[in-house]
C-alpha cells in the first residue's frame, strides 16, 4: 500500500487518481492547511472508489497509527508549505512544517521497514546562477526559505540513506506543474490571489480578475518575459508511478528532473490559453517580481535514460485542461 502525504493538494490529488487507475492501493493523509476536503468527494466520483484517508499533520506523532493500521510499502511525500514569497515572511513555519514532517515520516519508515520513498523536490533547489537547462548534478542553493527547505530535505534524505541503506529514494525535482485532470473534476484551487501564472491567467479568463500583471518585459528572453518549463500535472502524476516502479525494480535511489525540457514565456503561455479558452486575456507589463529569474527549464536527458519515460502532453493540452477545470469550477471546489 502506498502512503500519500499532502494527498488532497494539487499534485497529490492527481497522483492519487493516477495510482488508483493503475491498480495501486493508496492511503492519503493531509491536514487541509492548503486544500479542501471536497477533493475527496471528487476523487470518489471520478474513480468510483472510496478514498482511504486520514486528516493528520505529518509532523504529528499520531502518524504512527497509519503505519500500524496499513501495510505500507512506499511513501510519496507531497506534504509541504510551498509559497516562495510567504516563506520569506515566515521562515520558522516553513522550516518547521517541511523539515519536522519529513523527520517524523523517516523515523516511521525506519521502524516499519518501509524501503521506498518518493520525495517532492523542486527546480528551486538549483542555484539561480546555474546556466539553463538545469542538470541534476549542478550546484544547489536557493533564494528563499522554501527553496532551502527542499535543499535541506534532500540532504536529510541522503544522510538517512547512508545510515539506513535499505531505504531507496526518488528525488523528483518538479519544474512548473500546470493543467488539470482531463475530466475537469479536480484541478488547482489556490486560496486567495494566485501567486502562480497559470491559475492567475485562468481566473482572468473566467472573469474573476481584471487583467494579468506580467512581471517584467525586459528579461533577456525570446520576448522579454520570463521563461519556465511547464509540465502537465497528469504527466507529473505518471512520473511518480514510473519512479515507484523504478524503486521497486532497481532498488536504487534516483535524482531526476520532472519537466518537459522546453521553456515557454509568459506571453507564449498567455497566447496558448487565449486559443484554448476562446477568450481575450487582458494584461499589463509591470515591474519584475523580486527573486524571479529570466529562465528556468530542465535538461531531461537523465530522466529519459533512467526512467525510460517522457512527458506526453503539450502546452495547448495544459491550457485546454486548465480551462476545462476553471470554467466548470469558477470558484474551485466550492463551486
Ligand atoms: P499543495 O499545497 O496543493 O499540496 C500540499 C498539500 O500538503 C496540501 O494539501 C496541504 O494541506 C498539505 N500539507 C502541508 N503541510 C502538511 C502537514 N504538515 N501535514 C499534512 N499535510 C500537509 O501543493 P502542491 O502544488 O500539490 O505541491 C506538492 C508538493 O510538490 C510540495 O511538496 C511542493 O513543495 C512540491 N512542489 C510543487 C511545485 C508547484 O509548483 N506546485 C513545484 C515544485 C515542487
Ligand atoms: N508571472 C507573471 N505574472 C503572474 C505570475 C507569474 O508574469 O501573475 C511570471 C513569473 O514572473 C515567471 C512565470 O510567470 O516568469 C512563472 O511564474 P510562477 O510563479 O507561476 O512560477 P515560478 O516563478 O515559481 O517558476
DSSP 235-255: HHHHHHHHHHHHHHHH---EE
Distance, CA 177 to ligand 2 centroid (Å)? 12
Q: What is the pLDDT of residues 39-53, one digit of tens each?
A: 999 999 999 999 999
Distance, CA 249 to ligand 2 centroid (Å)? 37
Is residue 195 in contact with ligand 2, taking CB distance under 6 Å? yes
Is residue 213 in contact with ligand 2, taking CB distance under 6 Å? yes
Give the model's pLDDT for residue 126: 97
Q: How confident is the model at residue 55 (pLDDT cuts 50, 70, 90)?
A: very high
Whether the per-residue pLDDT at 335 is higher than 90: the answer is no
Give the distance, in angstroms, between the CA of residue 282 and the centroid of all CA atoms in the same chain: 28
Q: What is the pLDDT of residues 95-138, one digit of tens each?
A: 999 999 999 999 999 999 999 999 999 999 999 999 999 999 99
Catalytic status, residue 246: no
Q: Which atom of ligand 1 is nearest to the CA of 146?
A: 34
Whether the per-residue pLDDT at 160 is higher than 90: the answer is yes
Q: Which residues contact 27 (CB under 8 A, 6 or more apart)?
A: 1, 2, 3, 4, 52, 53, 54, 66, 70, 72
Mean pLDDT of 251-267: 98
Give the model's pLDDT for residue 143: 87
Half-sphere exposure of 71 (CA within 13 A, CB side): 2
Annotated catalytic residue within 10, 134, 146, 171:
146
Distance, CA 120 to ligand 1 centroid (Å)? 8
User: Mean pLDDT in the chain?
Assistant: 97
| Residue whose CA lies nearest to ligand 1 atom number 16 | 79
Give the model's pLDDT for residue 198: 98
Spatial separation of the C-alpha atoms in residues 294 and 285, rounded to whole Å: 15
Spatial separation of the C-alpha atoms in residues 264 and 256, rounded to whole Å: 20
Q: What is the pLDDT of residues 269-287, one digit of tens each?
A: 999 999 999 999 999 999 9
Is residue 11 in contact with ligand 1, taking CB distance under 6 Å? yes
Q: How confident is the model at residue 177 (pLDDT cuts 50, 70, 90)?
A: very high
Give the model's pLDDT for residue 38: 98
| Residue whose CA lies nearest to ligand 2 atom number 20 | 196
Q: Which element (helix H / strand E) includes 39? A: helix 38-47
Mean pLDDT of 20-29: 98
Amino acid at each position: 500500500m502506498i502512503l500519500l502525504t499532502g494527498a488532497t493538494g494539487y499534485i497529490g490529488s492527481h497522483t492519487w487518481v493516477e495510482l488508483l487507475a493503475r491498480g495501486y492501493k493508496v492511503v492519503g493523509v493531509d491536514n487541509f492547511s492548503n486544500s479542501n476536503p471536497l477533493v475527496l468527494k471528487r476523487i470518489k466520483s471520478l474513480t468510483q472508489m472510496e478514498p482511504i484517508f486520514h486528516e493528520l499533520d505529518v509532523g504529528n506523532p499520531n502518524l504512527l497509527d497509519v503505519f500500524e493500521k496499513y501495510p505500507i510499502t512506499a511513501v510519496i511525500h507531497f506534504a509541504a508549505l510551498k509559497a516562495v514569497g510567504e516563506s520569506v515572511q515566515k521562515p520558522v513555519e516553513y522550516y518547521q512544517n517541511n523539515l519536522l514532517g519529513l523527520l517524523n515520516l523517516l523515523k516511521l519508515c525506519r521502524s516499519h521497514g518501509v524501503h521506498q520513498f518518493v520525495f517532492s523536490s523542486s527546480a528551486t533547489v538549483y542555484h539561480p546562477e546555474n546556466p539553463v537547462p538545469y542538470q541534476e548534478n549542478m550546484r544547489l542553493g536557493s533564494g528563499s526559505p522554501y527553496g532551502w527547505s527542499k535543499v535541506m530535505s534532500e540532504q536529510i534524505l541522503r544522510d538517512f540513506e547512508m545510515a539506513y541503506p535499505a531505504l531507496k529514494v526518488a528525488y523528483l525535482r518538479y519544474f512548473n506543474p500546470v493543467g488539470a485532470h482531463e475530466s475537469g473534476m479536480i484541478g488547482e484551487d489556490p486560496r486567495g490571489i494566485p501567486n502562480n501564472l497559470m491559475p492567475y491567467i485562468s481566473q482572468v479568463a473566467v472573469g474573476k480578475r481584471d487583467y494579468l500583471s506580467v512581471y517584467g518585459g525586459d528579461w533577456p528572453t525570446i520576448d522579454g518575459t520570463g521563461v519556465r518549463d511547464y509540465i502537465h500535472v497528469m504527466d507529473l502524476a505518471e512520473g511518480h508511478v514510473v519512479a515507484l516502479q523504478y524503486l521497486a525494480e532497481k532498488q536504487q535511489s534516483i535524482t531526476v528532473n520532472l519537466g518537459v525540457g522546453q521553456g515557454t514565456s509568459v506571453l507564449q503561455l498567455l497566447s496558448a490559453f487565449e486559443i484554448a479558452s476562446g477568450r481575450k486575456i487582458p494584461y499589463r507589463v509591470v515591474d519584475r517580481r523580486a527573486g524571479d529569474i529570466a529562465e528556468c527549464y530542465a535538461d531531461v536527458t537523465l530522466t529519459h535514460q533512467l526512467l525510460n519515460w517522457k512527458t506526453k502532453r503539450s502546452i495547448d493540452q495544459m491550457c485546454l485542461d486548465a480551462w476545462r477545470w476553471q470554467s466548470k469550477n469558477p470558484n474551485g471546489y466550492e463551486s
